[in-house]
Amino acid sequence: LTKKMTLYSAPSKKELIGLLEKNTLTALNSKTQSDKSSDNTLLKNILDTIDEPIYIVDLMTEEIIFANKKIVDLFGSVVGKKCWKVLQKGQNKVCEFCTNKNLINEKGQPTGIRHSTYLNLMKKKWFQCCDQVMRWDDGRFVAIKTSVDVTALKNTTLSLGKLLEENKKLTQDIVIATDNERRQLSQDLHDEIGQIGTAIKLNADFLAIQENGRSASETETINDIIKLSEKFLKTIRNISIRLNP
């Protein structure tokens, strides 16, 4: 009899990772060595279809026990080597951004998915990493690490941050320049226009105290000049005060 083959639609990247995390590795524990080898091949084929870096590391030894094609394309042969030695540049210990220590709690239970964003110095690219612990087929704890290249997004964010800083500085410079202009205008009003107003009032006061004969209209005009000059000086002072930052 010919066994009918069931056809499935191509799963998304999220579905593939979910399949790996929730089903594939757990199922390996209950299978024979031959079945496990077959499933490992299936696992590799599945993960090789994902065009983002994915690897699995032993939590105790920090050695990589599985890497998909994207990892190999980027970093070469890394299986059997400590992740921080072959995936980063100039490291002599575990990377500071590594989430391994947070993947299992004090009771030895997985804590769920952990996220991190880091700069890979070997490739000079930014990656956003999603890590989760699980049991490998031999019972040990391993961490599956899936990464997404976010260099373009990071560069855009950094560029926007730089533009915002430049805009902030420009705004501050404009405020400082405006304050200086206001301060200078206030000083000019007080020193120059104010002196002119003061001179007008002093002359009007001098004329007012003269006893030589003058008409009533002349006296009224002089008094008006004194009042207007006083109002003028008061206005100048008020404007000068308001202009001062």
Q: Which pLDDT tens digits describe the chain residue by residue (245 residues)?
A: 444 444 444 455 455 555 555 554 454 445 555 555 566 677 788 888 888 999 999 999 999 999 999 999 999 999 999 999 999 988 889 998 999 999 999 888 899 999 999 999 999 999 999 999 988 888 889 999 999 999 999 999 889 999 999 999 999 999 999 888 888 888 888 888 888 888 888 888 888 887 777 788 888 888 888 888 888 888 888 888 888 77
Six-digit token pair at 110? 């997985």
- For residue 162, count other CB atoms closer than 10 A to its CB: 10
Which pLDDT does position 3 carry in this prediction? 45
From CA 50, how far away is CA 145, in angstroms rounded? 13
Question: Whole-prediction pTM value?
Answer: 0.58
Helices (H), the chain: 13-19, 25-28, 33-48, 69-75, 83-86, 151-188, 194-209, 216-243
Q: Please say whether the beta carbons of 78 and 87 come within 8 A.
A: yes
In one-letter notation, the amino acid at residue 51 is D
Q: Which amino acid is at 139?
A: G
CA-atom Rg of the chain in angstroms: 40
* Angstrom distance (rounded) from CA 142 to CA 99: 12
Q: Measure the CA angle with vertex 155, ends 100 and 164; round to 5°.
A: 115
pLDDT at residue 86 in the model: 93
Residue where the block lists tokens 């920090």: 62
Measured CA to CA, the distance from residue 64 to residue 80 in angstroms comes to 5
Rounded Cα distance, 37 and 51, in Å: 23
Give the model's pLDDT for residue 2.
45
